Amino acid sequence: MSTKAILILLNGANLGLLARYYPNPSDGSSNTNMILKAMALAPLVVLEFLLLIATYRAILHPLARYPGPWWAAITDWYTVYHIMEGDRHIDFYRLHQKYGNVVRFGPRRISVRSASALKDIYGVSANVKRSQVYASTAHFFGGTPHSNTTPDWKEHAFRRRVNVRALSQANIRGMEEKILQNIRYFCETLVDGQGTGWSAPRNMSELIGYLISDIMGDMTFSKSFDVQRKPDNRDVLTGLPRAVAGIHAVGYMPGIVTFGLHKIFFRKMIDDIARFITLSASTFQWRFAQENCNDFFSTLLRARDDKTGQGFSTEQLVAEAGLCTVAGSDTTVTATTAIFFYLSHYSTCLSRVEQEIRRGFSTLEDIRIGAHLASCHYLLGCVEETLRLTPPVGSTLMREVSPGGLSVDGLWFPPGTDIAVPHYALHHDERYFPDAFTFKPERWLSKATGSSDTIDVDVTPDLSLELIGSAREKASAPESLAASAFTAFGVGRTSCIGKYLAYQEILLVVARTLWLFDMRLEPGSTLGEGSAKLGPGRERREEFQTWDRFVSMHQGPMLQFRRREL
């Protein structure tokens, strides 16, 4: 029997019960009896109210014509459940395999799996605003939205223009030494003693987590969180993705906060956020007292908008600097860890990268940001392929359709619809990526030249004007088709402005590690791999397993290193 038929029957049965037991003043009952009867009926009245809402959502709502799981059409608890399970990315893949390219996954939420939908939903002229889902982040972080959560596009454009200056290529090159000194220490920790024999296994998720946190601390505030050397603050930073998961869940069900349920369901999350805010507050206090630092904070402090001459207020400054740390950490950690996972599971790819780096650079210190590193085409292909297979933001960036509606792929969606393209599902769509679950860096390299020209690591000064994949879409080569559906950094007016920095960090960490060391997977270790035991969609051994918390959580791979013979 269909869901619609079941709902109609339930409504009928419940209304029947209500009519049957409705207190009738003419049957001679006392007033007290009447009140007791009315109280006994209260649950049926509440049930009828809920049934009517469910029936409207499942049958009469304008989105009812789109396919999807029945309980997702009725309640956003469907999404909250998958956020807590950490499998939203996989769930979107499954939903689109089952129901097609347009899926309804919430009472007013739609997911569209297609490259052309990217432009329709995230393009500069798209008639959308940021979804209410983002509001919960500002709520939990002291009420001041940052550029990634502010619902006002004008305000966002101003903040983005200022942030782009802080994250410009010139600025990042000027801070290269901050990145390198942390990577040098990271490399030291990979081997035991002289490093002549294989090291004890290293959990790469953890070590890279510490490394990137320290880099981001140094670059943002000139103050490393120092988690590589000391365990003190590690749990604060590792707790962050858990906090993001809770905030994200609350974004889908704001009622959770209204009724105070977050204090029951997300106790740990509230503690995680409180500890992160305490750490941030002390870092800000320290930083405000310093002078002449070369970091994002000082650029943000000095930066003025070209158009208005306006700079950031103190509150905005704190929010934007906080955004840099949060947005730049977990995402880059996932990408860097994942590339180590794939290289350690695809030995031919590892050999090719090793050759490219060891032949390309005569000394370790030659490996720096610049044209030489950017010409490691095969390594770049590996980075891109990693970000495709394991996009660190694996599920969706929700947008709410504004008054007037929105046309996506020729379909019209009414105002109020929350709509998005699911990253992991699109990245595994065979139309764009044949043999979608296999790690194939070659798919990004031009067949003709072997170069990686379709990989765009540059950041244009004003990304809000970026044309999404337009030049790429026109070309018919497979690598161009792939590029048109690549969305790891988001696209359009809110796309990642830390992309250049992220690529430099990943390239430097991988190139320096493989220049110095031989690397292998700990014999017998499976941490980070897929397995049927982990549940549906997680059975592929050679796929790095992540738990989607908006950003991602993961463990492994367990790798061993030894100094290579020079």
**CB-based contact 89:423 (threshold 8 Å):** yes
Number of residues that bind ligand HEM (CB under 6 A): 25
Burial grade of 278 (CB within 10 A; 0-12, 13-18, 19 or more): exposed
Segment near ligand HEM (CB under 6 A); pick from 74-82, 137-145, 404-412, 496-504: 496-504
**CB-based contact 166:303 (threshold 8 Å):** yes
**Residue 434 is encoded by which pair of tokens?**
């044949």
Residue 551's nearest CA partner among 321, 396, 383, 394 is: 394
Q: Which of 136, 452, 494, 504: binder of ligand HEM (CB under 6 A)?
A: 494
Q: Is 114 in the site for ligand HEM (CB under 6 A)?
A: no
Compare residues 263 and 302 and give the one whose CB is closer to ligand HEM. 302
Residues 146 and 536: their CA atoms lie apart, in Å, by 36
Segment near ligand HEM (CB under 6 A); pick from 247-255, 280-288, 495-503, 525-533: 495-503
The residue assigned the tokens 């799996």 is 113
Segment near ligand HEM (CB under 6 A); pick from 105-113, 184-192, 261-269, 320-328: 320-328
Q: Which of 221, 486, 489, 550: binder of ligand HEM (CB under 6 A)?
A: 489
Please give the residues from 146 up to 165 whose contact with ligand HEM meets the rule CB under 6 A.
147-148, 160, 163
Q: Using H for helix, E for strand and C for coil, what is the string for 246-293? A: HHHHHHHCCHHHHCCCHHHHCHHHHHHHHHHHHHHHHHHHHHHCCCCC
User: Residue 391 to residues 131, 331, 424: CA-CA distances in angstroms?
Assistant: 21, 9, 6
Say if strands 418-420 and 109-112 run parallel, antiparallel, or are unpaired: parallel
Please give the residues from 369 up to 428 whose contact with ligand HEM meets the rule CB under 6 A.
392-393, 397
Nearest-CB residue for ligand HEM: 498
Compare residues 421 and 558 and give the one whose CB is closer to ligand HEM. 421
Compare residues 454 and 546 and give the one whose CB is closer to ligand HEM. 546
Residues 386 and 341: their CA atoms lie apart, in Å, by 9
Per-residue mark of binding to ligand HEM, 274-313 (x: CB under 6 A):
----------------------------------------
Give every CB contact of residue 531 below 8 A, 6+ residues apart in sequence.
538, 539, 541
Compare residues 399 and 562 and give the one whose CB is closer to ligand HEM. 399
CB of 466 to ligand HEM, least distance (A): 11
CB of 359 to ligand HEM, least distance (A): 27
Q: Is 335 in the site for ligand HEM (CB under 6 A)?
A: yes
Segment near ligand HEM (CB under 6 A); pick from 249-257, 303-311, 321-329, 475-483: 321-329
Residues 95 and 76: their CA atoms lie apart, in Å, by 15
Residue type, 31: N
Q: Which of 236, 501, 519, 559: binder of ligand HEM (CB under 6 A)?
A: 501
The residue assigned the tokens 């995230």 is 122
Binding site for ligand HEM (CB under 6 A): 147-148, 160, 163, 167, 323-324, 327-328, 331-332, 335, 392-393, 397, 488-490, 494-498, 501-502
